[in-house]
Amino acid sequence: MNLLSLKGRTALITGAGQGVGAQVARHCAAHGARVVVNDFHAERAEAVAAGLRDEGAQATARTCDVTDYEAVSAMVTSAAEEFGPVDVLVNNAGNAGPSADPMAPAPPFWESEPADWKPWVDVNFYGVLNASRACVPAMVERGHGRVITVISDAARVGDAQLAVYGGAKAGAAGFSRGLARAVGRHGITVNCVALSAVRTPGVATAVEDASLVKAMLRQYSIRRLGEPDDAANLVLFLASDAATWITGQTYPVNGGFAVST
Ligand SMILES: NC(=O)c1ccc[n+]([C@@H]2O[C@H](COP(=O)([O-])OP(=O)(O)OC[C@H]3O[C@@H](n4cnc5c(N)ncnc54)[C@H](O)[C@@H]3O)[C@@H](O)[C@H]2O)c1
């Protein structure tokens, strides 16, 4: 028996056009899921979905901005028409949104304006609410589901440069704990995976700066950056039948940065 099998399941991964989300999509497909690859950037989503189909998987691309509830709702409906209702939702879209560089120099919080906060809160908090709201009803109806949200150690321990981002991610984690309590009796689990520095295009500014990486890695027990695989392995586990009694939790994947009790 392969407990990690997702055969017969439909998985929707947001922000899966590159980085962690793309790797999660590959893992889900490799374990038999029908995969819906969402991204704001159509060409990224199409390329990942096409790559999965080339490997023999069932995969389809859906372009939409997860911060737009109506668009997310329409995406979930159209994905269900093609592949059946979503069994596994991975809320992965995040960072500073689809176009901004999360590592770009920014003013300290005390000099920032509300307009500076909005993109972070929109994608990292409302994006999670939007996709969860759109997917959970069909999970409740069928008595099975998985909601997995990718958050950040910035939510667990704080990051001086990324206070608003950390706050939005912490909000997503708090929401996930509440949702887990609300939907557990319907056979749905809800968990978060908290990442530290993972080598992806979205954070290239930081992870390609050798002196910055050297300084960062002094805080990591395992002295390397994370790879998308490190995150995707845990997401796959939480999505699978191996994790039916795990819910309402946040699991760090961080090479020993921010070790928890
Ligand atoms: N890479 C890291 O070091 C790191 C660390 C901690 C947490 N995270 C979190 O992990 C997740 C994945 O990060 P990554 O580094 O792989 O990201 P990335 O920026 O490389 O890729 C994210 C993808 O999401 C898409 N996206 C962004 N906003 C969107 C929106 N509103 N609607 C639809 N798609 C959208 C982007 O177009 C992009 O293709 C994010 O939630 C991020 O906050 C990453």
Distance in angstroms (rounded) separating the CA atoms of residues 123 and 103? 16
CATH number at residue 239: 3.40.50.720
Does residue 86 lie within any of the structural domains? yes
Does residue 2 lie within any of the structural domains? no
- For residue 14, report the distance from its CA to the centre of ligand 1, in Å: 9
Structural domain count of the chain: 1
Q: Which residue intervals of the chain are DSSP H helices?
A: 19-30, 42-54, 69-83, 114-121, 127-142, 153-157, 163-183, 204-207, 210-217, 228-239
Measured from the Cα of 226, ligand 1's closest atom is 3
Confidence (pLDDT) at 61 = 98
Helix (H, G, I), strand (E, B) or coil at 11: strand
Does residue 4 lie within any of the structural domains? no
List the strands of the sheet with 88-91, edge to edge: 59-63, 34-39, 10-13, 88-91, 145-152, 188-195, 250-253
Confidence (pLDDT) at 1 = 83
Does residue 236 lie within any of the structural domains? yes
**Inter-residue contact 165 to 106 (CB < 8 Å):** no
Q: Which residues pair with 13 in a beta bridge?
A: 37, 90
Does residue 42 lie within any of the structural domains? yes
The token duo for 59 is 């995969």
Q: Which residues have CB under 8 Å from 77's CB, separation 6+?
A: none
- For residue 235, report the distance from its CA to the centre of ligand 1, in Å: 15
Measured from the Cα of 228, ligand 1's closest atom is 16
Q: Which sign, positive or negative, has the C-alpha torsion 243, 245, 248, 249?
A: negative
Q: Residue 173 belongs to what domain range?
A: 10-253
- For residue 1, report the distance from its CA to the centre of ligand 1, in Å: 33
Measured from the Cα of 102, ligand 1's closest atom is 19
Residue of the CA atom closest to atom 25 of ligand 1:
15
Residue of the CA atom closest to atom 7 of ligand 1:
152
Distance in angstroms (rounded) separating the CA atoms of residues 125 and 67? 9
Confidence (pLDDT) at 96 = 87
Confidence (pLDDT) at 110 = 97
DSSP H/E element including 63 = strand 59-63
pTM: 0.98
- For residue 224, report the distance from its CA to the centre of ligand 1, in Å: 20
Residue of the CA atom closest to atom 27 of ligand 1:
98
* 20, 67, 72, 230: residue to mutate for ligand 1 pocket, most atoms within 8 A of CB: 20
Does residue 91 lie within any of the structural domains? yes
Does residue 261 lie within any of the structural domains? no
Confidence (pLDDT) at 261 = 67
- For residue 232, report the distance from its CA to the centre of ligand 1, in Å: 13
Low-confidence stretches of the chain (pLDDT beneath 70):
261
Q: Active-site residue 69, yes or no?
A: no
Residue of the CA atom closest to atom 38 of ligand 1:
15
Confidence (pLDDT) at 104 = 87
Does residue 63 lie within any of the structural domains? yes
β-strand 250-253 against 188-195: which pairing, if any?
Answer: parallel
